[in-house]
Amino acid sequence: MKKIQAIRGMNDLLPDQSPIWQMVESTLIDILQRYSYQEIRFPIVESTELFKRSIGEVTDIVEKEMYTFEDRNGDSLTLRPEGTASCVRACEEHGLLYNQTQRLWYMGPMFRHERPQKGRYRQFHQLGVETFGMQGPDIDAEILLLSARILRELGVLSAVTLQINSLANAESRANYKAALVSYLTNLQSELDEDSQRRLTTNPLRILDSKDPKTQSLLNNAPVLLDYLDEESKQHFSGLKKLLDAAGVQYQVNPRLVRGLDYYGKTAFEWVTDKLGAQATVCAGGRYDNLVEQLGGKATPAVGFGIGLERLVLLVQEMQELPAELNLQTDVYLVAVGDVTEQAIQLVEQCRDELPYVRFMMHCGGGNFKNQLKKADKSGAEIALILGEDEAKSGQVVVKHLREDIPQQTLLIADAIEYLQTFE
């Protein structure tokens, strides 16, 4: 029979990879807690309308990347392609934005029907950070410092560059759009195919076209930063000042735009040259209009998303990870003869008294030699050996597997005390 395989672009995470993911995830959560951010969880499936209304009809995500289906009631549902829209929906629905500020995070899978390649998958994972009710630029600086700390504490800061830009308010953006379109219309035939289409649908996206010809045509194009309204200008220079004072290095990239329509004012990306074409590890910005756009009261907001697969790839690229990371056990219990009951009792007592030590109990029988082989393969430092004689006398043999230390037969209480050195 033909075996069923995983969906293309949707990856299994195998046990040899889970330790690095757990290390990255726990570092992220630890840092988020140190910044007093709270976790929020929301469903993976939402009404299709939510994403259309927030991300924008004429975006890559909504036009061609969403997993959309009708459920049995005939409702159009979509697997979330990102978290911001759902986060706003959940906050509004539960009154979290009423007369208060929020600093929130979430972590989980997102779904986009893209062409799978290194760093680009159809199910991928993001850490999302969203803040509400603060106009900034102090909060913009805070989340940038938070993202910088994440990258620094994971040892990848030297592999990334922070790029920032201001996308202005809606009105100045519209003025700029008109200027850009009139400049590019004359060059229309020379643009790449996607950009030609975007000229009428979403011209700002042409700025981050990956096509070299289009990029060179943009060299003389009008620059968004020249069109900033007074408020956006002040916000942007305020942010730059705070980043300078905090010692965060950045480049102003006037062509940086985001693939989602809801951004205005601050936009930023942490980019790397270590992951091929998938350069953006972390991306975000300000979206002061989104809450209102989704039916709530106007609420300033700023946030970012980190692609966890890309972050993990980068950590692996930059750090020699300690070998212990992949060891799952410290002590392996070998039980020879008719001693299963005593073995279970012993290992549970050990787990009670030594909560920081990881025990693996041999299961499935086998002779002494075989069990000892398994103990060695488990990576454990020590084997506890329980035979029928030991079981009768309330003793156990302590055998070092990696160091040249003579084995000892100890009373159980003494063996437990001996193992305390692991804590």
What SS3 state is found at 53? helix
CA-wise closest residue to 334 among 294, 377, 284, 301: 377
List 131's β-bridge partners, or say none.
103, 302
Tell me the three-class secondary structure of 172-198, residue by residue: HHHHHHHHHHHHHHCCHHHCCHHHHHH
Residue 278 CB partners (closer than 8 Å, separation 6+): 117, 118, 119, 120, 310
Q: CA of 203: how far to CAs of 191, 199, 228, in Å? A: 12, 5, 17
Find the part of the chain contacting ligand ATP (CB under 6 A) among 131-139, 225-233, 305-313, 363-371.
305-313
Shortest gap between Cβ of 356 and ligand ATP (angstroms)?
35
Neighbouring C-beta atoms of residue 139, cutoff 10 Å: 22
CB of 122 to ligand ATP, least distance (A): 7
Q: Closest approach of Cβ 60 to ligand ATP, in Å?
A: 7
Query: By C-beta, is 264 or 307 nearer to ligand ATP?
Result: 307
DSSP 12-36: ---TTTHHHHHHHHHHHHHHHHHTT
198 interacts with ligand ATP by CB under 6 A: no
Bridge pairing between strands 102-111 and 38-39: parallel
Q: Which of 52, 89, 310, 399 binds ligand ATP (CB under 6 A)?
A: 310
User: Smallest gap, in angstroms, from Cβ of residue 206 to ligand ATP?
Assistant: 14
Shortest distance in whole angstroms from residue 140 CB to ligand ATP: 16
Q: 86, 42 in Cβ contact below 8 A?
A: yes
Tell me how far apart the alpha carbons of residues 386 and 290 are, in angstroms, rounded to a whole number. 64
Binding residues for ligand ATP, rule CB under 6 A, total 18
The window from 71-79, 244-252, 276-284, 376-384 that contacts ligand ATP (CB under 6 A) reads 276-284
Strand 123-132 vs strand 280-286: parallel, antiparallel, or unpaired? unpaired
Taking CB positions, which residue lies at the least distance from ligand ATP? 307
List the interface residues with ligand ATP, window 81-140 (CB under 6 A): 82, 112, 114, 119-121, 124, 126
Tell me how far, at minimum, the Cβ of 123 lies from ligand ATP, in Å.
Answer: 8
- Output 42 or 359, the one with its CB closest to ligand ATP: 42
110, 43 contact by CB (below 8 A): no
The pair of three-digit structure tokens given for residue 346, joined into one six-digit string:
């012993």
Binding to ligand ATP (CB under 6 A) within 212-271 occurs at 259
**To the nearest whole angstrom, how small is the minimum distance from the Cβ of residue 125 to ligand ATP?**
8
In the chain, what is the greatest distance between 2 CA atoms, to the nearest angstrom?
Answer: 93
Contacting ligand ATP (CB under 6 A), which of 225, 281, 301, 385? 281
- Contacting ligand ATP (CB under 6 A), which of 130, 142, 261, 309? 309
Out of 59, 102, 266, 280, the residue judged to bind ligand ATP by CB under 6 A: 280
Q: Which stretch binds ligand ATP (CB under 6 A): 20-28, 217-225, 303-311, 319-327?
A: 303-311
Nearer to ligand ATP, 123 or 409 (CB): 123
Q: Rounded CA gap, 263 and 306, in Å?
A: 16
Binding residues (CB under 6 A) for ligand ATP: these are 82, 112, 114, 119-121, 124, 126, 259, 278, 280-283, 305, 307, 309-310
